[in-house]
Amino acid sequence: MLRNDYNWIIAILFFSFLACQNKEKKSTPPPNAAQRANRPMQADGFIVRTKSLSENIDVPGTLLPFEETEIRPEISGRIVYLNVPEGRFVSKGAVLARLFDGDLQAQLKKLQVQLQIAQQTAKRYSELLTIGGISQQEYDLTELQASNLQADMELVRVDIYKTTIRAPYTGRIGLKSISSGAYVTPANIITTISQVSKLKMEFTVPEKYSENMTRGRVVDFTVAGTDRKFSSAIMATESNIEANTRTLKVRSVVNGTHASLVPGAFAKVTLQMGQDNEAVIVPTQAIIPQARNKRVIVYRGGVAKFEIVTTGIRDSSFVQITDGLNPGDTIVITGLLAIRPDSKIQLNKIQ
């Protein structure tokens, strides 16, 4: 009996203790909204300073032969001679192929005989004209016939010349696409020839850099397989900006030769768009883009002030400020989305 009374007393004391704890928790009022609003926001700062800054962009490029031509026949015919040394260099004017020209040669001989007859007839008519045996019109018709035959002979000679296919310039021959004895037309490609002793490079740049792509400007690039840097000089740009990609195509001439410089190879082009040895800089993440301008949050007397700035060149970490800030100003670089104008700020760390 005493044990039961003792247990009841312990239980009553325990529940009384819990009730007191709950009452103390309820009696402690939560912080109101005004107190929360007065708390300064925590953020990191950056002191605006000057620094040497250069803006470099990397764009992809492609190496190209200085000249590249598809070798096609000008007329249709059967190949009777083929000299295509695949992968080798040939000189300008070297004979690469010949088409059958027996029919053209026969036609030329026929015209030569007809011309001789027409010239003899014209000579006799000239003698008759002097004694009044024929009219001037008859003599003129014989002269005209001789002239027409000479013109026809020139056309046949041109066709005979077209049966011989020559290298248009000194270059490297590609792979041949046909064999000797094949019948070809102007639609068939016999082979290709490339002038690889000198190379070109093509690349594109965003339209905002188009005014920097001037003729003669030297650009650096690298290719896979070597750490060596190469250079090229801009020779021309496209006349208009590509509407779909908003880029400008640029073509340059590669300076020098190297075993790694192969037509069709990928090139990594490095362009220096600007440099300022005394640039006023801020971290890239401090810039808040707006619809019409750009802003930064300036820390002044513990309060956030939004200031409009004008930016210049940039690199991977910093942006040049050309207007709106001075060296020594402190700006906020973290928690930018949560900060409102004139809100209180406490800086935890200043860079």
Over the stretch 132-191, which tens digit does the pLDDT of each residue have?
Answer: 778 888 888 888 988 899 999 999 999 999 999 999 999 999 999 999 999 999 999 999
What domain range is 313 assigned to? 42-54+276-350
Give the distance, in angstroms, between the CA of residue 183 and the centroid of all CA atoms in the same chain: 40
Is residue 17, in this structure, part of any structural domain at all? no
d(CA 85, CA 192): 11
Is residue 120, in this structure, part of any structural domain at all? yes
Is residue 321, in this structure, part of any structural domain at all? yes
Mean pLDDT of 333-340: 88
Q: Which residue, of 275, 294, 317, is where some domain finishes?
A: 275
Which helix H or strand E contains 308, and what residues bound it?
Answer: strand 303-314
Mean pLDDT of 107-121: 91
pLDDT at 14: 58
Beta strands in 33-88 (DSSP E): 41-47, 49-71, 77-82
Name, in order, each residue with C-beta under 8 angstroms of 131's C-beta and a sequence gap of 6 or more.
none
Identify which has the larger pLDDT, 134 or 285.
285
| CATH number of the domain where residue 237 is located | 2.40.30.170
Q: Which residue, of 257, 275, 293, is where some domain finishes?
A: 275
d(CA 318, CA 54): 10
| CATH number of the domain where residue 180 is located | 1.10.287.470
Q: Which residue, of 275, 303, 322, is where some domain finishes?
A: 275
The band of 28, judged by pLDDT with boundaries at 50, 70 and 90, is: very low
The band of 8, judged by pLDDT with boundaries at 50, 70 and 90, is: low
Q: Are residues 157 and 81 in the same domain?
A: yes
Nearest to 321 by CA among 336, 310, 334: 310
Judge if pTM exceeds 0.75.
no
Per the structure, the count of domains in the chain is 3
Q: Are residues 75 and 177 in the same domain?
A: yes
